[in-house]
Structure formats: C-alpha cells, structure tokens
Amino acid sequence: MSDTITITGIEATGYHGVFDHEKRDGQTFRVDLTLHTSTALAAASDDLRDTVDYGAVAQAVVEEIEAGPYDLIEKLAAVIADRVLDSFSPSGVTVSVHKPQAPIPVPFDDVIITVHRERS
C-alpha cells in the first residue's frame, strides 16, 4: 500500500514507567501513528465507511494510554499497534510513543519508541 493516514500528537495521561512515582503520579504521553491503507475506495465513494475512521482510532489510542500501567513504553506502543490492527482495517500501522517527562538525569527533549506492525 502506498497510501497512509497519519495522526500526530494524541495526548493523554498515563501511569507507565519503572519507578513507583511514575505509576503513582502519572505523566503526559503523546502518540503519533501512521495507518497504512488504501484510500482509493474512500476517494471514489466519499464515504467514511470506506476508510479508517481516524477519530475512532484516536479515541482508542487515548484509551490505551490511560490503561495499563506498563513498565515500558515499548509495551505501550505494541499494545496500541495491536489494538489498531485488531479494531480497524489498516494493512499496517506505525506507532511512536513519546515520553517527554521521562526520568532522565540530563537535559533532553523527548524519548520516542517507534514500532511497526503488519496485519498477518
């Protein structure tokens, strides 16, 4: 597939991390994802039923950020990817989880884990 739908900056509070204070206090996580799908049918029909409903995808991502908790954002990224593949119709998905408030003792901008999954 050469078509993609990309959603960036989905934010929610999650309680993921290896430290007790991360699970207790929570922090903002941000998710970007790219859905690999054909948009040809939707372009021809102009009907939402013929594409991936990115509003519903974004809501599912928020639900997964708020679920858990998980120790690692690698796990969160994989759970989101699995949910999108199971609940929607893309042939593949690329998920990036941002943890900008990660407990790192040096100045940094962001920590990002990216996973890519294909429908089997």
Q: Is 99 a catalytic residue?
A: yes
- Taken as a whole, the chain contains a residue count of 120
Report the alpha-carbon distance of residue 55 to residue 98 in Å, rounded: 20
In whole angstroms, how far apart are CA 119 and each of 48, 71, 89?
A: 21, 26, 9
Give the number of other CB atoms < 10 A from CB of residue 95. Answer: 25
Q: Which one of the listed residues 17, 99, 115, 117 is annotated catalytic?
A: 99
Task: Give one DSSP letter per residue of 37-104, joined into a string.
Answer: ---HHHHHH--GGGS--HHHHHHHHHHHHHS---S-HHHHHHHHHHHHHHHS--SEEEEEEE-TT---
- Tell me the catalytic residues: 99
